[in-house]
């Protein structure tokens, strides 16, 4: 979203030297897992492993055994340790990562940087790595993928994106034959929980965030959730698969839900839209005649008929536009201990099945030889429709506002009046624009604010008017 300026104002460590990789286990024995971090997800994994032990062994072809745990909170691990005899408790994650009795390092501690040396050491010592840590992967994924490839081991991270929903597996394996044209997602459970609680229960932002934290959905630092960075990390990982987009910090335009007001949600609902934190990666044709890649996370108005508008609470959704498969919708629990544990254990079952010797799947997508990644499309050139919400300080003339926008290059397709937000204020004017480059829409909103004195709040609309065909969605 964007808010026009007030009318009166102008407008790590270097890659380890690798010792020779030792085969860490014969395939016939159990898969020995070393867990770093016993928090929400670590506890969930432990519980699910205990509950479905026989099922997991049958599906993996051998037992999955937790053999060592590194934790900063032994008191939290104590009740779990009591249920599994023989698990070694370590204070140092690096010791666990290099432990000869561990085949797979399971990193569930979190943090964008701290786990890097542990996981590089794990690969250097011939271990596979499973992680749910999207912040780490978004920042260091290329380095970790290279280390995995050098050691012939697997870097698996299904749990890092969309919780229980198998989005990584779908892109990497099930859709391997397809050119992907677009990924439209709701990838942060906490933000979606807050938005749907506010819209459907009238909850306050603060109360809904506190509830999401209590339910174990939020990051240790929840500003990553509500600021959009968590969804951006996940989108970057998916775009690396789908488009071979390099993992690069700052590549995803990122806005969170913190600037939204309850009145924005009311106005959206009045016009038949739901507000969601949208994560979008799509190839578009540029005016220069080539193709570019939009990568963006921001609040957006989705028509109620859009498949992602129905994604409620902490659920996530991903709509994939694939050239052969067509549109494909994946949806389910996007956060929380058990849904995330489900994805973690799926990775462990894969490793139990394949074991050492199998060629690991590439950690991220690969481009054909000689093909360069798509160039990023600047936000000012992103084309779309907008809802302009005018909060007037004095009487507004609808026709004047529409004429002014038209002169600035922005057509109005629909108008509506909404009751004042508070006593003493005038009614709000809602103007739904036609498609235009974002730079044009922002400049027009600014002019409108200066001319009318109203506060103008701009919200992006995501609908089917700009289609997913690479030739149909044009940048400025």
Ligand X SMILES: NC(=O)c1ccc[n+]([C@@H]2O[C@H](COP(=O)([O-])OP(=O)(O)OC[C@H]3O[C@@H](n4cnc5c(N)ncnc54)[C@H](O)[C@@H]3O)[C@@H](O)[C@H]2O)c1
Ligand Y SMILES: N[C@@H](CCO)C(=O)O
Interface with ligand Y (CB under 6 A), residue total 11
CA–CA separation, 150 and 126 (whole Å): 10
**Residue 337, class by beta-carbon neighbours within 10 Å (0-12 exposed, 13-18 middle, 19+ buried)?**
buried
By CB under 6 A, tell whether 37 contacts ligand X.
yes
Q: Which of 99, 52, 94, 238 is nearest to 157 (CA)?
A: 238
Nearest-5° Cα angle at 132, 128 to 137: 80
Asked if 218 and 212 count as a contact pair (C-beta separation under 8 A), the reply is yes
Nearest-5° Cα angle at 280, 129 to 180: 75
The three-state secondary structure class of 342 is helix
Query: Minimal distance in Å, beta carbon 243 to ligand Y?
Result: 21
Query: In this chain, which stretch among 107-115, 320-328, 397-405, 424-432 interacts with ligand X, using CB under 6 A?
Result: 107-115
CB closer to ligand X out of 123 and 217:
217
Which among ligand Y, ligand X, none contacts residue 109 (Cβ within 5 to 8 A by kind)?
ligand X
By CB under 6 A, the residues from 74 to 93 that bind ligand X are: 93
- Transcribe 150-181 into DSSP letters: HHT--EE-GGGSSTTS-HHHIIIIITTTSPEE
Residues 6+ apart with CB under 8 A from 203: 194, 197, 211
169 labelled catalytic: no
By CB under 6 A, tell whether 71 contacts ligand X.
yes
Residue 325: what are its φ and ψ, rounded to 5°? -75, -25
By CB under 6 A, tell whether 450 contacts ligand Y.
no
The three-state secondary structure class of 378 is coil
CA–CA separation, 304 and 316 (whole Å): 16
Report the residue from 110, 222, 299, 470 that binds ligand X according to the rule CB under 6 A. 110
CA–CA separation, 352 and 57 (whole Å): 8
Q: Which two tokens stand for residue 208?
A: 């809904």
Query: In this chain, which stretch among 217-225, 268-276, 324-332, 394-402 interacts with ligand Y, using CB under 6 A?
Result: 217-225
CB closer to ligand Y out of 163 and 470:
163
Which among ligand X, ligand Y, none contacts residue 446 (Cβ within 5 to 8 A by kind)?
none
Which among ligand X, ligand Y, none contacts residue 188 (Cβ within 5 to 8 A by kind)?
ligand Y
CB closer to ligand X out of 222 and 458:
222
Report the residue from 43, 98, 170, 190 that binds ligand Y according to the rule CB under 6 A. 190
By CB under 6 A, tell whether 294 contacts ligand Y.
no
Interface with ligand X (CB under 6 A), residue total 27
Query: Minimal distance in Å, beta carbon 314 to ligand X?
Result: 8
How far apart are the two ends of the chain, measured CA to CA in Å?
19
By CB under 6 A, tell whether 443 contacts ligand Y.
no
Q: Which two tokens stand for residue 143?
A: 């380095």
CB closer to ligand X out of 107 and 350:
107
Print the binding letters for residues 335-354 with ligand Y: x by CB under 6 A, - otherwise: x-------------------
Report the residue from 189, 299, 313, 458 that binds ligand Y according to the rule CB under 6 A. 189
CB closer to ligand Y out of 38 and 87:
38
HSE at residue 69, side-chain half, CA atoms within 13 A, is 25
**Can you list the positions of beta strands (E) in 312-394?**
315-322, 326-333, 375-376, 383-391
CA–CA separation, 5 and 73 (whole Å): 48
Asked if 284 and 240 count as a contact pair (C-beta separation under 8 A), the reply is no
Report the residue from 129, 218, 240, 459 that binds ligand Y according to the rule CB under 6 A. 218
CA–CA separation, 251 and 153 (whole Å): 28
Print the binding letters for residues 350-389 with ligand X: x by CB under 6 A, - otherwise: ----------------------------------------
Query: Minimal distance in Å, beta carbon 95 to ligand X?
Result: 11
C-alpha distances out from residue 253 to 1, 212, 232, 238, 377, Å:
12, 25, 8, 15, 10
Query: Minimal distance in Å, beta carbon 25 to ligand X?
Result: 24
The three-state secondary structure class of 184 is strand
CB closer to ligand X out of 110 and 317:
110
Print the binding letters for residues 149-188 with ligand Y: x by CB under 6 A, - otherwise: --------------x------------------------x
Report the residue from 67, 284, 335, 461 that binds ligand X according to the rule CB under 6 A. 335
Closest residue to ligand X, based on beta-carbon distance: 39
Print the binding letters for residues 213-252 with ligand X: x by CB under 6 A, - otherwise: ---xx-xx--------------------------------
Catalytic pick among 127, 134, 169, 234: 234
CB closer to ligand Y out of 163 and 355:
163
User: What torsion, rounded to 10 degrees, do the Cα atoms 263, 268, 270, 271 define?
Assistant: 150
Interacting residues with ligand X (CB under 6 A): 36-42, 70-73, 93, 108-110, 114, 132-133, 159, 163, 216-217, 219-220, 335-336, 340
Catalytic (active-site) positions: 234
Interacting residues with ligand Y (CB under 6 A): 163, 188-190, 217-219, 225, 230, 334-335
């Amino acid at each position: 979203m964007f808010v026009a300026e007030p009318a009166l104002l102008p407008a790590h460590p270097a890659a380890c030297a690798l010792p020779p990789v030792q085969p860490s286990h014969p395939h016939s024995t159990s898969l020995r897992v070393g867990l770093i971090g016993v928090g929400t997800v670590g506890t969930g994994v432990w519980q699910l492993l205990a509950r479905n032990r026989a099922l997991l062994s049958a599906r993996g072809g051998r037992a999955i055994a937790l053999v060592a745990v590194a934790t900063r909170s032994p008191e939290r691990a104590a009740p779990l340790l009591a249920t599994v005899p023989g698990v070694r408790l370590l204070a140092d994650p690096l010791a666990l990562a290099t432990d000869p009795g561990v085949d797979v390092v399971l990193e569930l501690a979190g943090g964008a940087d701290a786990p890097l040396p542990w996981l590089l050491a794990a690969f250097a010592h011939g271990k596979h790595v499973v992680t749910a840590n999207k912040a780490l992967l978004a920042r260091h994924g290329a380095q970790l993928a290279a280390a995995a490839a050098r050691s012939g081991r697997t870097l698996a991270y299904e749990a890092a994106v969309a919780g229980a929903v198998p989005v990584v597996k779908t892109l990497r394996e099930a859709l391997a034959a397809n050119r992907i044209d677009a990924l439209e997602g709701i990838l942060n459970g906490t933000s979606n929980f807050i938005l749907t609680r506010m819209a459907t229960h009238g909850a306050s932002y603060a109360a809904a965030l506190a509830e999401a934290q209590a339910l174990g959905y939020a990051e240790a630092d929840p500003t990553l959730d509500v600021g959009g960075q968590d969804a951006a990390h996940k989108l970057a990982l998916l775009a690396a698969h789908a488009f071979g987009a390099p993992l690069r910090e700052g590549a995803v335009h990122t806005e969170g839900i913190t600037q939204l007001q309850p009145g924005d949600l009311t106005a959206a609902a009045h016009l038949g839209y739901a507000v969601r934190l949208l994560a979008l990666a799509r190839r578009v044709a540029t005016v220069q005649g080539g193709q570019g890649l939009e990568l963006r996370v921001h609040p957006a108005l989705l028509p109620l008929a859009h498949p992602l508008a129905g994604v409620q609470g902490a659920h996530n959704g991903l709509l994939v536009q694939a050239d052969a498969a067509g549109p494909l919708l994946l949806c389910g629990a996007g956060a929380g201990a058990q849904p995330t544990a489900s994805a973690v254990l799926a990775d462990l079952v894969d490793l139990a099945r394949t074991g050492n010797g199998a060629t690991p799947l590439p950690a991220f997508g690969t481009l054909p030889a000689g093909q360069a990644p798509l160039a990023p499309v600047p936000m000012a050139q992103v084309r779309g429709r907008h809802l302009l919400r005018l909060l007037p300080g004095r009487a507004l003339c609808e026709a004047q506002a529409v004429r002014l926008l038209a002169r600035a290059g922005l057509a109005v397709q629909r108008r509506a009046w909404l009751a004042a937000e508070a006593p003493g204020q005038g009614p709000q004017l809602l103007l739904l624009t036609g498609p235009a480059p974002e730079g044009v829409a922002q400049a027009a909103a600014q002019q409108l604010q200066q001319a009318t004195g109203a506060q103008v709040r701009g919200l992006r609309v995501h609908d089917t008017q700009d289609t997913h065909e690479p030739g149909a969605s044009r940048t400025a």
